[in-house]
C-alpha cells in the first residue's frame, strides 16, 4: 500500500509539537517505518526515532556501506498566519511554563514527509542496492540540542555506525531547485542568555535604583556595533538580540533584565573574536550603569559550522544533476542559519552532505526577484506566513534523499 504523503504532510502541519515534546510526530514516523519493514527504536534522546534496514548483497552476504539519513521534526512557538485550510491552531507549553502558539514555521513537517517517502522508495527498490540504511528522525533541532541528545543516548554505539551522514532542509528557494556546496554550508552558532542585575525600586524614584532596563537597552544598541565596527567587512558574522524580558508593571523598576542572543560565524577563529567582543560589551555596559553585580552570561547551545565533505558533495551534486537536470542544481552560498546535524558526522568521524531544496512557488519567486521584493513577498523559514508549496516540494524532497542515499549504497 502506497503511503499518502499529502495526507501525512497536512496532518503533521496541523499538529506541530515543540522541541522534545514531539511524541505524536515521533509515533507517526515510527509507525510508518515499522510498516515499511524497518527495525524501529523509539525514545532515543527523549523523543528521537531510529529505524534500521539491513540489506546485504544477495548471495554474497556482503553488508555494504552504512548510510545515515536524517530529518528533524520539531516545530516553533509561532502563531500561524498562512490562511491554509490545514493551518495549525495548536498550542504548547514552552520551557518557561508559558502556553504558546505552535507552528511548523521551519518546514520540519515537510522534512519528515519527504523522509518517509524516500524510505518507501528505497524499500521498494532494495533489490537494486545493498548496505544498511539508518533513518534518524531527530527532535529539538530548533533548540540545537536534539542531535546531541541522541548521541549522548548512545546512538553511535547502539546502532550501525555511519560511513556517511546525509540531510536536507526545505527553504524559500523556487520549488524544483536544489542548493548545495562543498565546504561551509551553514554557520556555527552560539545561543546566549545574558542577565543584567540592577537594583529595583519605585518608578517615581529612579535615582534610588540601578535600572537594568536602561542597562540592557544600552547593551542591545552597543552590540549592533560588534559586527558593523569590529568585524572585517570581508568576514560574515551576525549578532542578533531575539528576546528582551524585564519588569512586571509600569511603575516598578525591576531588579533584573534578560536578553537572549543568537550569534553566527563561519569558523572557530571568528567565533572566538565575536564571543570576546560580546562579553566585553555586556560587562562594560553593566559597569557603566553602576551595576553592583556582574551580569551572568549563560550558554544555551553551541552549534558547529555545517561543513560538507568536498568529495562526497561532488558525488551527490552529480546524482542530483542526473535526477533533476543541470539547471536545477545551484550553489546557494553560505547560509547564516545553523544546524545541529553535523554532530552526527563529527562524532562518527565521517563525511557529511547537507543540502537545501526549494519550497516556494516558482512563478511567484521569479516575479518577486524581478521586482526586487523577495524579502517582502516570499516568506522565509520562521515566519508566521511560511509554508512550502506541497507540490513539487514533496516529490523533489523524496527524490533528492533517494538519489543521495543511492549514491552511497552499494
User: Residues marked as binding?
Assistant: 106, 108, 142, 169
Distance CA 279, CA 175 (A): 41
- Cβ neighbours around 17 below 10 Å, total: 22
- Report d(CA 105, CA 379) in Å as an integer: 10
Grid cell locating 164 = 556517511
Q: Which residues are annotated as a binding site for Mn(2+)?
A: 106, 108, 142, 169
Q: In the 3-class helix/strand/coil scheme, how is the chain assigned residue by residue? A: CCCCHHHHHHHHHHCCCCCCCCHHHHHHHHHHHHHCCCEEEEEECCCEEEEEEEECCCCCCCCCCEEEEEEECCCECCCCCCCCCCCCCCEEECCCCCEEECECCCCHHHHHHHHHHHHHHHHHCHHHCCEEEEEEEECCCCCCCHHHHHHHCCHHHHCCCCCEEEEEEEEEEECCCEECCCEEEECEEEEEEEEEECECEECCCHHHCECHHHHHHHHHHHHHHHHHHHCCCCCCCEEEEEEEEECCCCCEECCEEEEEEEEEECCHHHHHHHHHHHHHHHHHHHHHCCCCCCCEEEEEEEECCEEECHHHHHHHHHHHHHHHCHHHEECCCCECCCCCCHHHHHHHCCCEEEEEEEEECHHHHHHHHHHCCHHHHCCCCCCCCCCCCCCCHHHHHHHHHHHHHHHHCC
C-alpha cell at 202: 519605585
Amino acid at each position: 500500500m502506497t503511503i499518502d504523503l499529502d495526507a501525512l504532510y497536512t496532518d503533521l502541519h496541523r499538529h506541530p509539537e515543540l522541541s522534545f515534546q514531539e511524541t505524536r510526530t515521533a509515533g507517526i514516523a515510527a509507525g510508518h517505518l515499522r510498516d515499511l519493514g524497518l527495525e524501529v527504536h523509539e525514545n532515543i534522546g527523549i523523543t528521537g526515532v531510529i529505524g534500521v534496514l539491513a540489506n546485504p548483497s544477495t548471495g554474497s552476504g556482503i553488508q555494504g556501506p552504512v548510510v545515515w539519513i536524517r530529518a528533524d521534526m520539531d516545530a516553533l512557538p509561532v502563531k500561524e498566519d498562512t490562511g491554509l485550510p490545514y493551518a495549525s491552531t495548536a498550542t504548547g507549553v514552552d520551557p518557561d511554563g508559558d502556553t504558546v502558539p505552535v507552528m511548523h514555521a521551519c518546514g520540519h513537517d515537510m522534512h519528515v514527509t519527504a523522509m518517509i517517502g524516500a524510505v518507501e522508495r528505497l524499500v521498494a527498490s532494495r533489490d537494486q542496492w545493498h548496505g544498511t540504511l539508518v533513518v534518524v528522525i531527530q527532535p529539538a533541532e530548533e533548540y540545537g540540542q536534539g542531535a546531541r541528545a541522541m548521541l549522548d543516548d548512545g546512538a553511535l554505539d547502539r546502532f550501525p555506525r555511519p560511513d556517511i551522514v546525509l540531510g536536507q532542509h526545505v527553504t524559500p528557494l523556487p520549488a524544483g531547485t536544489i542548493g548545495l556546496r562543498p565546504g561551509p554550508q551553514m554557520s556555527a552558532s552560539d545561543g546566549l542568555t545574558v542577565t543584567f542585575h540592577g537594583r529595583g525600586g519605585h518608578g517615581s524614584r529612579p535615582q534610588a535604583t540601578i535600572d537594568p532596563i536602561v542597562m540592557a537597552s544600552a547593551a542591545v544598541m552597543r552590540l549592533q556595533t560588534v559586527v558593523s565596527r569590529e568585524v572585517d567587512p570581508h568576514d560574515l558574522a551576525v549578532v542578533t538580540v531575539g528576546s528582551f524580558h524585564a519588569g512586571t508593571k509600569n511603575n516598578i523598576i525591576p531588579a533584573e533584565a534578560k536578553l537572549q542572543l543568537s550569534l553566527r560565524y563561519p569558523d572557530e577563529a571568528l567565533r572566538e573574536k565575536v564571543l570576546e567582543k560580546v562579553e566585553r560589551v555586556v560587562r562594560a555596559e553593566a559597569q557603566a550603569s553602576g551595576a553592583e553585580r556582574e551580569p551572568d552570561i549563560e550558554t544555551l547551545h553551541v552549534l558547529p559550522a555545517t561543513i560538507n565533505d568536498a568529495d562526497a558533495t561532488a558525488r551527490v551534486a552529480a546524482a542530483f544533476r542526473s535526477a533533476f537536470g543541470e539547471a536545477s542544481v545551484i550553489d546557494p552560498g553560505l547560509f547564516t542559519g545553523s544546524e545541529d546535524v553535523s554532530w552526527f558526522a563529527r562524532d562518527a568521524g565521517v563525511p557529511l552532505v547537507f543540502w537545501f531544496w526549494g519550497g516556494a512557488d516558482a512563478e511567484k519567486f521569479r516575479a518577486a526577484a524581478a521586482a526586487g521584493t523577495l524579502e517582502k513577498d516570499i516568506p522565509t523559514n520562521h515566519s508566521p506566513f511560511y509554508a512550502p508549496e506541497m507540490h513539487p516540494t514533496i516529490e523533489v524532497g523524496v527524490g533528492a534523499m533517494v538519489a543521495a542515499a543511492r549514491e552511497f549504497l552499494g
